[in-house]
Amino acid sequence: MKREPVRLDWTDGNDIRLLQNGADFFPSLCAAIDAATVSVHLETYIFMLDRSGEMVLRCLAEAALRGVKVRVVLDGFGSAATADEVRVRLTNAGAQCRIFRPEPRWFAKLIPSRSRLRRLHRKVSVIDGQIAYVGGINIVDDYDDLDPSDGLTAPRFDFAVKVRGPVVTDAAYAQDLLWVRLNWARLRRHPRDWNRMRLAKPHHVAVAPCGQMRAALVLRDNLRFRQTFERAYLLGITEARRDILIANAYFFPGVQFRRALARAAARGVRVRLLLQGKVEYRMQYHATRSLYDQLLRDGIEIYEYMPGYLHAKVAVIDNVATVGSSNLDPFSLLLAREANVVIDDQPFAWDLQERLETAIREGGRFIRPLDYQRRGLLRRWVDAASYVLLRIGVALTGTSDKY
């Protein structure tokens, strides 16, 4: 996570607040939208019309009705069930709403297509060009979509950050680029608009320093930033000297990433993974477990989060932290649009690390190597089969050799 050779756009003078779960995130986001006077731009993968979703939608509509410029981008797959209703309700209030790669209708859904896998997975909101929210939290209530039969005792475990300072400029710029790109009709008529947006950051979103924190916005897309996030991670792992703590919902990184973790453990770095213990998507869960044997042999500690669904995509490597939307799996690393904030600030990193260690102490199940090796034949078969199926999916990207 250093500056070279990944060339992160580090900026000083940021003020960044860590938000844990929807209990922190939604009240803060809604208060910022309610206070907006100029603009609100929100992007999300999932927008559910549950308790929290209705609250956010109401705040967006009220902002538009009082004259604030409101723009919303929803992913066509993640928000497929609600996108039409959300768009209608926002449009009726005077806001604008666009859908990223709408899902095809009828039998067209059955046709395999790599383009359908390229989703808008990032969760970024910018208010008045001065405040940004970046993280892994969708517009989904922490409790409303839980099945009581699952026996979960805690809300979905996730993080976001509230940012003030120059990093907001980069977030607003990324949103503007995508917004213009989604308007293909205008781009065909005025291609110079795209070139101007692509080559120069708009001056109207420049944000002055307002804190003491060093940070960078790290994007992942299928054009300019295909490997930026993964390379930043790899550099951080390679240069770690004391501690690597990763909490990730869907952990299925490539061979190079796993080898980097193994080398770090071999040189004395304590490497810990906090992964899903409650099954949300079975194939991803069991494919991840197929990696456990080698990870444990490499001296890596694995904990599974048991109180609720783990949805976090965060890490602390020595005194550097990252919070964002990117999982460490082929979907995020090879296909989706993602956004993470990397924070080079010791107090922030220690705060995030303490929260993760608390989750491990209070709800983490330690995976003991002998217990894992003694698991039954059926579990071994399910893990292996899931691994094969996921690799078949990766083959659609043309990079199966990396996994």
Dig out the tokens for 46 from the structure: 């999932």
Q: Would you state the torsion angle of the CA atoms of residues 284, 286, 303, 276, taken in this order, to the nearest 10 degrees?
A: 40
User: What is d(CA 81, CA 297) in angstroms, rounded to the nearest whole number?
Assistant: 43
Number of other CB atoms surrounding residue 24 within 10 Å: 17
Q: Would you state the torsion angle of the CA atoms of residues 233, 331, 174, 194, taken in this order, to the nearest 10 degrees?
A: 130
Task: Identify the residue whose tokens are 């213009």.
Answer: 180
| Strand positions, DSSP E, 140-296 | 159-164, 213-220, 243-248, 270-276
Backbone dihedral angles phi then psi of residue 50, each to the nearest 5 degrees: -100, -160
Q: Which of 141, 313, 344, 345 is catalytic?
A: 313
Whether 201 is catalytic: no
Strand partners, 399: none
Q: Which of 41, 123, 162, 286 is catalytic?
A: 123
Whether 311 is catalytic: yes
Number of other CB atoms surrounding residue 209 within 10 Å: 14
Q: Which of 41, 162, 278, 311 is catalytic?
A: 311
> Do you know the residue count of the chain?
403
Number of other CB atoms surrounding residue 192 within 10 Å: 8
Closest by CA to 166, choosing from 196, 198, 131, 135, is: 131
Dig out the tokens for 124 from the structure: 């970024």
Q: Which of 75, 176, 221, 318 is catalytic?
A: 318
Q: Which of 121, 162, 278, 286 is catalytic?
A: 121
Whether 318 is catalytic: yes
* Distances from the Cα of 22 to the Cα of 51, 135, 161, 311, angstroms: 11, 11, 12, 12
Q: What HEC string does 203-220 produce? A: HHHCCCCCCCEEEEEEEE
Whether 109 is catalytic: no
Number of other CB atoms surrounding residue 320 within 10 Å: 22
DSSP-derived 3-state class of residue 225:
coil
Q: Which of 41, 75, 128, 286 is catalytic?
A: 128
Active site residues: 121, 123, 128, 311, 313, 318
